[in-house]
Amino acid sequence: MPMLRLEMHPGRTPEQKREFVREVTRVAVEILKCPPESVDIVIQEIPRELWAKAGKLVSEA
């Protein structure tokens, strides 16, 4: 069973999230040869103040 995890900043619409999980599931099924019911996707939104990149907080960049 594929388990996919997406971490991103808040702000995407529910429709964007729906489209993402629909397309990622479609590709996983096609490439991994598994049923759609076996594909789990977790979306976790992480606020900018808790995210850092290249040694700096994203919220301060």
Select from 16, 35, 13 the least CA-distant residue to 25. 35
Just list the catalytic residues: 2
Select from 39, 49, 56 the least CA-distant residue to 2. 39
Alpha carbon 54 to its chain's center = 21
